[in-house]
Amino acid sequence: MQITPLAIPEVMLIEPPVFQDARGYFMESFHQQKLGTALGRKVSFVQDNVSYSERNVLRGLHYQRPQSQGKLIQILNGEVFDVAVDLRRKSPTFGQWVGQILKSPQQLLWVPEGFAHGFLVLSGSATVLYRVTAHYAPENEHTLAWNDPALGIHWPLQGTPRLSGKDQQGLSLQMAPVFD
Ligand SMILES: Cc1cn([C@H]2C[C@H](O)[C@@H](COP(=O)(O)OP(=O)(O)O[C@H]3O[C@H](C)C(=O)[C@H](O)[C@H]3O)O2)c(=O)[nH]c1=O
């Protein structure tokens, strides 16, 4: 399993071994012991999510506080620009963002607890599967503004993004509850 820390090192690209043969390929997209050893911590997922979106849809930036969710993101079809924002007040990268193009199920992204997460669909459509370490708690969910100038996220926009009503009303970093 290849682990590549990104610019914010707790956010990592995970590339499990892929077993190719004349039929196609097989891979273990999640193996608790192997991932735990690679990340240096136990990871227990309690919920799987799948979302389907069309081009230019931007979902996020979401997080739960408390009940913060670690997320293992895997794109099943299409291409997205995936973003994580560090909301851990004591972190040296607090308020910073990291982006990663995901376009193969063979490359997964680990976003730990304490981060806001979202993605922009770059292809005609995208199907994203992600496993989370805490159950959905809508009463504790918050939305960070995708376009907050204080974050300065360089979304590779192809026109105006398509947002949910909730995501059109995200909080600025200054106003958003963060993790102490
Ligand atoms: C997240 C979630 C949503 N829902 C219901 C609530 C709404 O009726 C409907 C759509 O929810 P929402 O608009 O919040 O879905 P997304 O905008 O894709 O939210 C996700 O977007 C970004 C990319 C994330 O990282 C989060 O994990 C997640 O919040 O699904 C559930 O029933 N369970 C859930 O775990």
**pLDDT tens profile 97-152:** 999 999 999 999 999 999 999 999 999 999 999 999 999 999 999 999 999 999 99
The pTM assigned to this predicted structure is 0.97
* Cβ neighbour number for residue 52 with a 10 Å cutoff: 13
Enumerate residues 6+ apart whose C-beta is below 8 A from 165: none
Does the beta carbon of 62 sit less than 6 angstroms from any atom of ligand 1?
yes
* Cβ neighbour number for residue 79 with a 10 Å cutoff: 18
The ipTM value here is 0.97
Token pair of 149, please? 């100038």
Question: Using alpha carbons only, how large is the chain's radius of gyration in Å?
Answer: 16
| CA-closest residue to ligand 1 atom 33 | 136
Known catalytic residues? Answer: 62, 130
Does the beta carbon of 131 sit less than 6 angstroms from any atom of ligand 1?
no
Does the beta carbon of 70 sit less than 6 angstroms from any atom of ligand 1?
no
Ligand 1 atom at minimal distance to the Cα of residue 166: 13
User: Which position has the higher pLDDT, 72 or 66?
Assistant: 72
Does the beta carbon of 164 sit less than 6 angstroms from any atom of ligand 1?
yes
Categorise residue 14: left if φ over 0, alpha if ψ from -120 to 50, beta otherwise.
Answer: beta
Strand, coil or helix: 140: helix
